[in-house]
Every structure is written in C-alpha cells, then in structure tokens.
Amino acid sequence: MPLKDALPTQGRFSQWRPNWVILTLGLAMLAAVWGLPTVSVAANRIVSGTGYPVWQALSWGGGALASLIILAMMVLASHPERTRLSYVAQFAAMVLLLLLMPFGLMAASHWLVDASQPQARLGIGPAYWVVMFLALLGLIELRLRLSLARGWMALLLIGIGAVWLGCAALWLDSLALVQEFQVREAQFYQAIRQHLALVTIAVSVSIVLGMGIALLMRRFYRLQRGGFALLNFFQTVPSLALFGLLLAPLAWLSANVPFAAQLGIKGIGWTPALIALIIYSLLPIVRNTYVALEAVSPDVLDAATGMGMRTSQRFWQVRVPLALPILLEGVRITMVQAIGLTAVAALIGAGGLGAFIFQGLGQAAMDMVLLGALPILVMALAADAGIGALAAQLRRGAAYD
C-alpha cells in the first residue's frame, strides 16, 4: 500500500463515499429515459419509423415508474453505509426494471400501433437499448460488489431473457423483430443450425489438429518458430481477405479435379468458410496447448518420475490434467472467435446467421440485421461464460486434489 493511503484522511465529507458507479449509471439511465426516443413506429418494413418520447410511448405514469425505480437505486447507492442488504436492494431494482421493460413495449404497442394495419410495426427505440445496456452494466457492477457466483448471474439472465421471449411470443406481435422472425421462422432455425455446425466442426477439427501441431512442436524444436510465425501471419490476414483468397484455388480445384467436385468442394459455400475458420482457430489452440504443457512445474514431473511413472503415464496422468485449464482457455478464445467469423462467412455463401445480417443490410431492413446479430451475440457470450465456468471448475478441482 502506498504510504499516502495509510495517512488518516481529513475533511467533513470524507465519510460520505457513495457508490459513484451506480450513481453515474443511474443518471445516464434517467437521461436516456427522458432524452431519447423510447420506441419507433413504422408503417411497413422498409420506411424508417417515427420516434416517440417516453411520455407518449409509456404515458407519464410509465416514465414516472421507470424513473422511480432508477431513483430508488440511486438513493440506496448514495447511502453512506455500503451494506450487503443495500446492494441486494439495488440489484433487485435493476432486475425489476429489466423485467418490466417488455411490458412497457406492450403498452406502447397498444397505444401507438394501429391494429387495423397489419404492416405497422413497433421498433425498440434508442432509450430502450441504452437503458438495457446500462442496467446490464449495473448488474455486473453489483454482482462484483456482492461477489455473487457466476452461475447465479447466468441463471438470472436466462430468467430475464425467458420473460422477454415469453412476452415477445405471446403478446408482442407488432414488434418489428418478432415480425421479421415470424416471416422466416424455418430459415432462422436452419441458420442457427448451420452456424453451430460450422463453428463446432471448425473448432473440433482445429482442437485435434492444433494439439497435434503443439505436440510436434514440443518434439521438434525447429518447427516451433516457423510454426508460430506462420500461424501469427494467418491471424493477421483479415477474415474477409482470407475468405476471398480461398475462393480462387478452391474454385479451380472443383473445376479441374472431379473427385473434389464429388466431395462437394466448391469455391463458394461451406468449404472455404470451414478452411478459413480452421486456419484462424489453430493459433489460439496451438499456442495455449504449448504454453499449458510447458507451464507444468518440473518439480511435479520430477515427483511423478520419483513415484515410478513411465513417460507416457507422466504425460497423460500428470501433464495433461494440470494443463487442462489453460488448454480450455484456448478453446474458449477459439470458440468465441469462430462464432464471430462464421458471420462473415455468410458473404461467401456459407449460410449461418450472418446471412440475415448481410441480407438485412442489403435491403435496409434493420430489424432483420438485429435478427442475425442478437443471436450471434448471445451465442458468443454463452460460449464464453460456459467454457469459462468449466475452466474455473477444473481449476478448483485441481486446487482441492
């Protein structure tokens, strides 16, 4: 600790230490609620909607309710004593706000959307997005203050998501996002399946390949520098460029080698996508496998030898289990990266959720873009949290043994 901090602080207000984070977030939320359009209403899919402020969308009562919840949270946050109970109450306020938001959309749709026009649709306005984002930041902050387990947080978010989805499915027919989904329900599920299939195949192939390469690098030192240099080089090449550069040789292959064509290898489609995804995925896997195996302490290996373990036993029963958490970290990075890159692969006809994004951008239909982008975001966050939790579990297991 720096010496300065150990000195007694003086001044009248030194006792008043509010949680500035929550206060700032609360102020920003209030500004968003009253300053930005809450919802927008459009006559059809293509025209841009007109925005409505909160007093028209949710009535004065709705705006007041939202402000009241936020103000309550801010008052709690500025209380001098930072007790656990106060943090729990602030947390509850945030959750309540997030749970009430879809009902606000229902009210807005009831008041603003003309039921006689089937094409009319309700768009979620900037105020909604900003408040949602800030509320999630608030939840993260409060989770850290309460040192709540990740699992509980995940369950809570799934619960909130379920309420949103339930409201959307049952009562929010006029929501533009829901309308986009209803038109292409089958396509949507197929896109998710394609996306997941591409990611899973690419990641599993690169796990097997990458570990093999890492093991070879450990055996043959010469391979190491060249190997890492090559993989780093590929990681630097932009995804769009790599997808593009693969089109030409693969098209040539399918045109000139009949066997390749029979296998379904084409210049456009899943083949270049898969190859590019595997190339990108290799670096994190190889690097983490290598680092993980190297990081095992020589003392532990020495002890294993002393216990009479053979080389293979030492490798499989000591090195690999101890290296597993770092290895999983590599898988996590790869998985998250592949989920994002697969979206770009839609440009070369590989399908997946990216197809919605780029079609939507092409048609200037922003809700279709959201229909593609939001699930990708959710998938990336879920993969990150899931594999992260698994790695944490393994670490804890290793610590207890």
Partner 1 sequence: MSRKPQPSLSTYHPAQLLVPVIWVVLLALAVVAMPATEAVFRWLAPDARQVIYQRADFITLLGRHLFVVGVAALFTVSVGLLAGVAVTRQWGRDFLPLATQVASMGQTFPPVAVLALAVPALGFGTLPIIVALVLYGLLPIVRNTIAGLKDVDLATISSARGMGMTDGQILRQVELPLAAPVILAGVRTSITINIATAALGSTVGASNLGDPIIAGIINTNMAYVVQGALVIALLALSVDSFFEVLQRRLRSHTA
Could you give the CA distance from residue 97 to residue 39 in angstroms, rounded to a whole number? 17
Whole-number minimum distance, CB 247 to partner 1, in Å?
6
Q: Is residue 296 close enough to count as binding partner 1 by CB under 8 A?
A: no
Which tokens in the block code for residue 67? 């402000």
Select the residue interacting with partner 1 from 51, 53, 126, 321 (CB under 8 A): 126
Q: At what angle do helices 176-183 and 150-170 cross, to 10 degrees?
A: 80
Query: Could you tell me the strand order of the sheet in which 121-124 lies?
Result: 50-52, 39-42, 121-124
Select the residue interacting with partner 1 from 46, 140, 158, 257 (CB under 8 A): 140
3-state secondary structure 142-205: HHHHHCCCHHHHHHHHHHHHHHHHHHHHHCCCCEHHHHHHHHCHHHHHHHHHHHHHHHHHHHHH
Q: Is residue 247 close enough to count as binding partner 1 by CB under 8 A?
A: yes
Nearer CB in complex with partner 1: 102/354 = 354
Q: Is residue 73 close enough to count as binding partner 1 by CB under 8 A?
A: no
Whole-number minimum distance, CB 26 to partner 1, in Å?
14
Rule CB under 8 A: which of 337-356 touch partner 1?
339-341, 343-344, 347-348, 354
Whole-number minimum distance, CB 286 to partner 1, in Å?
17
How many residues in the chain?
401
Whole-number minimum distance, CB 141 to partner 1, in Å?
5
Q: Is residue 221 close enough to count as binding partner 1 by CB under 8 A?
A: yes
- The amino acid at 89: A
Select the residue interacting with partner 1 from 90, 239, 254, 288 (CB under 8 A): 239
Select the residue interacting with partner 1 from 242, 265, 278, 304 (CB under 8 A): 242
Nearer CB in complex with partner 1: 102/195 = 195
Nearer CB in complex with partner 1: 175/339 = 339
Residue 231's CB is within 10 A of a number of other CB atoms, namely 20
User: What does DSSP say about strands 121-124 and 39-42: parallel, antiparallel, or unpaired?
Assistant: antiparallel
